[in-house]
Amino acid sequence: MSVLKITGGRSLEGSLRVQGAKNSALPLLAASVLTEGLSVFRNCPRLTDVAATVDILRHVGCRVYGEGDALYVDASGPISPEVPDELMGRMRSSVIFLGALLSRCGEVSLSLPGGCELGPRPVDLHLLALRALGAEVTEAGGRLCCRCARLRGGRIDLPSPSVGATENAMLAAVRARGNTVITGAAREPEIRDLQEYLRSCGALVTGAGSSVIRIRGVEKLGGGEKRIMPDRIAAATYLAACASAGGRVRLYDACPGDMVPVLQALRGMGCELRTGENLIMLERRGPLRSPGPVITRPHPGFPTDAQPPLMAAVLKAQGTTVMIETIFESRYRHVPALRSMGADIRTAGKTAVIRGVERLRGGEVHASDLRGGAALAVAALAAEGETVISGTEYMDRGYEDMAGALTALGAEACSE
Ligand code: EPZ
C-alpha cells in the first residue's frame, strides 16, 4: 500500500499546470455512450476514477484508447445496458450512466453507486428526472431498473440543485422526443463543460451555468470533441497548500473565474493573489489570519470539495474560524487525523470551529476520503517533521500525482 511522505516547515516556491477536472471528465465520458461516433477528450486527467469510468465504457461496448493527454471513445458499435456491480461500486459518478444508457438503449439495469462516504447520498432526484421524461423506474434490492423505448421531453423541477441529477437529466433529454426544461438545475462550471461537449455532438441544449436548462431532443448524436476544463478543486487544494506553508506559487492553465469564493477566502486569510485569464499567483509571507465564517453552498457559493483543504490551511491562522458544511452530512471525517497533528477543532453537526494553534506536528495519519486526504497533505506542509499519509488510493481518485505536484511547488514530498 503506498504512502505519501511530506516533511513540513518549508515555504513553497514554484509553478504547476493545473490538471483537467475530474468532475468534468467523468460525466463527459459517461455522455459519450449517447453518441454513435468517435469522441475526443483533451486535457483528460490521469486518475483512478477516470480509469474506472473507462472500464465501464469498455464493458458496455465502447472502444477506448489514449494518445498523450487525449482520450478517444468510439461508441459507434452496439452498446449493452448493463454494468457489473463491482464497476458501479467503485465510485459515485457511475450513476451518470443511468441516463446515458437508458437514452441509448431504451433500458438499463444498475446497482446503486459507490464512492466516498460523505453521509447519505440518495439518488431520488436522478429518478425524479428520468420519471419526468417517461421512464418506468423500479428500485429493488439495491438495483435500479429503468425502461423506456424512447424518452419524451418534459418539465423537470429539481427541488435542490444536485450536480449529478442535473447531468443525468441532460443526458436523458438530449435524445428524447420533444422539448425539456430543467428548473432548479445545478450551476457548477462542469455542467457548462458538459453542455459544450453535447453541442459538439449535435445536441440542442442551452442554459448551462444558470438554474434553467432547455433541451430540444434530437434523434441521433454523432461523435464530438472537448478540451476538459481545469480542475478548480485541485487548484484550490494547491493554493491552500501555499497558504498553509507560506511562500509563493503560480498555477497556470487554471480557471480563476470559477473560483471566486475560494480566492476571496484566501485573500481574507492574508494571502496576496494575482490572477490572469488562466493564471493564479498566490504569495503568503506574513501571519495567517482567519478568513471569517466559511459556509459551503452550491455554485457559485463556496464549494464543499474545497472545505477540507481550506480547513487544513486555517489550522495555524490567528483567531477562530467557523465552517458550516451545508451540502453533505458527514464531511468532517478528516478532523480526527488533523487533531492528532495538534489541531484545535470542535465539530457539532454541520459546524466546525477551528481555533488557530502555534504549532502542528508530523506523524502517521490515514486519509478518510479524497478531499480529506488532501487536507492531511495541506496540514503536513505546515507541521514540524515528517508526516506519513496512508490511504493515498483515495487521493489518486482525484489528484494526478500529488507528490509530484507538491514537489513542483517546492515541497519536500514523495510517494512510496
Ligand atoms: C458532485 O457529486 C461531485 N462529484 C462532488 O465531488 C461534489 O461534492 C458534489 O457534486 C457537490 O458539489 C462529481 O461531480 C463526480 P450532488 P454529486 O448530487 O453529483 C443530495 C469530489 O470530492 N442529493 O450535487 O453526487 C446529496 O445527498 C466529489 O470531487 C439528494 O438528496 O452531488 C447531497 O447532500 C465528492 N438526492 C447533495 O444533494 C439526489 O438524488 C448534493 O449532491 C442527489 C443528491
116 in active site: yes
* Ligand 1 center to 182 CA (angstroms): 17
Residues of the chain with pLDDT under 50: none
Nearby residues of 369 by Cβ (< 8 Å), 6 or more positions away: 116, 117, 118, 333, 334, 394
Instruction: Give CB contacts under 8 A, 24+ apart, made by 343-349.
Output: 343/315, 343/379, 344/315, 345/311, 345/315
What's residue 142's pLDDT?
A: 84
Helices 48-60, 22-31: crossing angle, 10 deg rounding: 0
- Rounded Cα–Cα distance for residues 350 and 346 (Å): 11
- Which residue has 469510468 as its cell numbers? 53
Could you report the per-residue pLDDT of 208-226, keeping only the tens digit for each? 999 999 999 999 999 999 9
- Rounded Cα–Cα distance for residues 225 and 277 (Å): 22
What's residue 41's pLDDT?
A: 98
Please name every residue paired with 226 in a beta bridge, in sequence order, or none if there are none.
41
By the 10 Å C-beta count (0-12 exposed, 13-18 middle, 19+ buried), 183 is classed as middle
Q: Is the CB of 297 under 6 A from ligand 1?
A: no
- Rounded Cα–Cα distance for residues 275 and 99 (Å): 38
* Ligand 1 center to 411 CA (angstroms): 32
Could you report the per-residue pLDDT of 291-311, keeping only the tens digit for each? 999 999 999 999 999 999 999
Q: Is the CB of 373 under 6 A from ligand 1?
A: no
Q: Is the CB of 304 under 6 A from ligand 1?
A: yes
Element (H, E) at 112: none
Contact (Cβ atoms closer than 8 angstroms) between residue 134 and residue 152:
yes
Q: Which DSSP string corresponds to 45-96?
A: ---HHHHHHHHHHHHHT-EEEEETTEEEEE--S---SB--HHHHTT-GGGGG
What's residue 100's pLDDT?
A: 97
Which atom of ligand 1 lies closest to the CA of 160?
38
